[in-house]
Chains A and B, each alone.
Chain A
Amino acid sequence: KAGVTQTPRYLIKTRGQQVTLSCSPISGHRSVSWYQQTPGQGLQFLFEYFSETQRNKGNFPGRFSGRQFSNSRSEMNVSTLELGDSALYLCASSLSPPGQGFTGELFFGEGSRLTVL
């Protein structure tokens, strides 16, 4: 079956712009999580959605937002981009989230690499 698909794979923006990243989970997966990965900070949790509801949120400013649609596809948005937002943004899906029959297996996409100039 098709894996997690993230688009776009690469993008370049300038400071002050905004960006929207898209994630299509594996068919049947209802939980989608987003992570930011940078060389300095490692893998940091952004937020998690299940059945169109945000269930968990990491320690990121309000410029970072997300949503999930009824077909489980998810988008994340970053407004007023800063240089420090340059990172690999990873999306992961699972059948159910932690605490609700979670098996622990997250299926990751290849990521969207954002460069802010």
Chain B
Amino acid sequence: AQSVTQLDSQVPVFEEAPVELRCNYSSSVSVYLFWYVQYPNQGLQLLLKYLSGSTLVKGINGFEAEFNKSQTSFHLRKPSVHISDTAEYFCAVAAGNKLTFGGGTRVLVKP
């Protein structure tokens, strides 16, 4: 069975500051990795995904994530956040026929 742990439930950050959201997973088979974002009162949408190839993945809205197989991590980063980045972020792992989401990290961007 696989599991996904998002180490921070909430991350407050000032506008134009960098942010990093941490995600660790466990799985006995090879995985695909994803980050989804949920803006207030909306469903989730895909930010970025790692399927294979380069371990540094770039997504929408200036976000990027790095897959580290030895540390089983897939941390999400943005060098300079905007007020509009206030949202909840979910890390997810697909292995075999199962997709598992982490508990989510709420990012609150302050002016």
Using CB atoms and an 8 Å cutoff, list the residues of chain A in contact with chain B: 4, 33, 35, 42-43, 45, 55-56, 90, 92, 97-100, 102-106, 108-111
13 contacts between A and B (CB under 8 A): A42-B104, A43-B104, A45-B101, A90-B43, A98-B96, A98-B97, A99-B96, A102-B32, A104-B32, A104-B49, A106-B44, A110-B41, A110-B42
Interface string of B23-41 (1 = CB under 8 A from A): 0000000001010100001
Contact A104 B98 (CB under 8 A): no
Nearest-neighbour CB distance to chain B for A71, whole angstroms, equals 21
Q: Report the bound CA distance from A25 to B45 in whole Å.
A: 15
B90 interface residue, CB < 8 Å from A? yes
Nearest-neighbour CB distance to chain B for A112, whole angstroms, equals 11
- Tell whether A104 pairs with B97 under 8 Å between CB atoms, given A42-B104, A90-B44: no
Which chain B residues lie closer than 8 Å to A110 at the CB level?
41-43
Interface contact tally, CB-CB below 8 A: 59
Contact A103 B51 (CB under 8 A): yes
Pairs of residues from A and B, 4 with the lowest C-beta to C-beta distance, nearest first: A108-B43, A99-B97, A108-B44, A42-B103
Q: Report the bound CA distance from A55 to B95 in whole Å.
A: 15
B17 interface residue, CB < 8 Å from A? no
Which chain A residues lie closer than 8 Å to B41 at the CB level?
110
B94 interface residue, CB < 8 Å from A? yes
B11 interface residue, CB < 8 Å from A? no
B99 interface residue, CB < 8 Å from A? yes
Indicate which residue in B43, B97, B99 contacts A4 across the interface (CB closer than 8 Å): B43
16 extra interface residue pairs, beta carbon distance < 8 Å, beyond A33-B99, A42-B103, A108-B44: A4-B43, A43-B90, A43-B104, A45-B101, A56-B97, A98-B94, A98-B96, A98-B97, A99-B96, A99-B97, A104-B34, A104-B46, A104-B92, A105-B34, A106-B36, A108-B45
Which chain A residues lie closer than 8 Å to B42 at the CB level?
110
